[in-house]
Structure 1
């Protein structure tokens, strides 16, 4: 069901557009308060989630790029094999794919991922993230919801 690739493209365009806007309008490490508990803070992440392996010396760029490319191919194949009734799973996979591709573009083009969403409470800040990360997390949440039948999409076994 490759009909879901429009959602992937939307996630990639929204992600890349927001990152380019941040890159041209802010200085690295600049922070702009937007509302309570939310800032725009421009940072570069050379690692993975939560800056995992960001100080690894450079090899992680190609490792995470290869991993993202492999996962993207697998998700595209999975999407192609979905049944027509698997709407929520299709949307979930499309969002995860869009996020993976969005961050892959950054890693290959720049050697780092542009992060800018800074959520905090008091002096405690969640690690900065971006639209691609949000798409991946939303996709995983929807996939879990689908698998647990939270939205009535899981098939009930007779019993």
Structure 2
């Protein structure tokens, strides 16, 4: 009797291990599907704006927010926008390399939900902007926040996803440090 209970005890952890391995194989795909959803939402709004606005056109939505169609050939805050064209391919390559690294991270850390959410948002945002660079040679921006005569640089859904993902990464790290 003791030996049969020992056998069943040994078999149970093996089943749990194979279950967790099976779910670990599915989880990265779910996070990548979430990143794809971010890309689709980003591209949907970019297409909607480009079909509804002329370049440079701005439409007030509130006293502090406009929709506008502008292009960014550089990176955040138009960094390197006037660099002569090489930056298009540099930022495209950078986005692809970062995307590959994030996919690797998703496979390595499948059990860390907040971390995976954060990097999935960053992945979706990076791919959304890479799509623009490849197709158009620039990133389409359309969200314009301002106060009085000061305008924050225009941005898009992909930039929002990257920003929220970065904030979640910081929160995740703070939680991890606090636990240890």
Say yes or no: TM over 0.5: yes
How many corresponding residue pairs?
153
Q: Determine helix, strand or coil for the equivalent of 1:106.
A: helix
Deviations 1:118-146 (A, max 9, x none): 00110000000000000000000001011
State whether structure 2 residue 30 is matched by structure 1 residue 6: no
1:60-139 matched pairs, under 5 angstroms: 60-84=87-111, 86-139=112-165
- Residue 17 of structure 1 aligns with which residue? 44
CA drift of 1:83 comes to 3.6
State whether structure 2 residue 81 is matched by structure 1 residue 54: yes
**Ranges in structure 1 where 5+ consecutive residues have no aligned partner:** none
Runs of 4+ in 1 over 3 A off after TM superposition: none
Q: Which of the two has greater helix per residue?
A: 2
CA drift of 1:156 comes to 1.5
| TM-score, L = length of structure 1 | 0.93
Q: Which has the larger radius of gyration?
A: 2
Higher relative contact order (CA 8 A, sep 6+): 1
What root-mean-square deviation, in Å, do the aligned CA atoms of Structure 1 and Structure 2 show? Answer: 1.1
- Residue 38 of structure 1 aligns with which residue? 65
State whether structure 2 residue 179 is matched by structure 1 residue 156: yes
**Ranges in structure 2 where 5+ consecutive residues have no aligned partner:** 1-26
Going from structure 1 to structure 2, the CA distance change for 1:137 and 1:110 (only over 3 Å counts) comes to: same
